[in-house]
Amino acid sequence: MSYGLMTDVIALVATIDPDAYTTGTQLSDAIDMAFHRRLMTTIYAGTLGSSGVLNAVLTSSATSGGTYTQITGKSITALTQAGTDSDKQAIINLAAAEMPAGHRFVKVSCRLTVATSDYGAASYGDRPRFTGASPTANILDLASVDEIVA
């Protein structure tokens, strides 16, 4: 099968909207890995507050509303203000085959400690199992995706 656009083979499936967050944890939308072979999550650190520490992990559950647990080996090295990590990115890859047994859903979990900081995250599912993620059939993109320009 030939694809003409990257949006034919990848879909925006989850976000943590970029914002100035206080300390605590932010969770992404639930991602149904039954529809994707692979997932790429990018963590976007903006300006990290004084002594700010940002951690991110992928978590999984058997159900979209269930209890999520960390997926082994799917976490970033903390981004820190002291480590000059403001305005940097970190990427976590996940293959459907790496999902824990019986788990189907994934969420990104970002935890900020110490100081208010700017950050966000976006997850993209690729190689859709059942249909293309295209401007005419973007059923796999988040409902918040307002437009795809070809």
Structural domain span for residue 81 = 12-126
| pLDDT for the residue 120 | 98
Residue at 134 is within a domain: no
Please report, for the chain, how many H helices and E strands are present, in that order. 0, 10
**Residue 32 neighbours by CB distance under 10 Å:** 14
Residue at 16 is within a domain: yes
CATH code of 122's domain: 2.60.120.1110
Examine the pLDDT at 133 and tell me if it is beyond 50: no
pLDDT in tens, 61-92: 999 999 999 999 999 999 999 999 999 999 99
Examine the pLDDT at 131 and tell me if it is beyond 90: no
- Average pLDDT over every residue of 100-116: 96
Residue at 89 is within a domain: yes
Task: Count the domains in the chain.
Answer: 1
Residue at 22 is within a domain: yes
Residue at 1 is within a domain: no
| pLDDT for the residue 49 | 94
| pLDDT for the residue 139 | 55
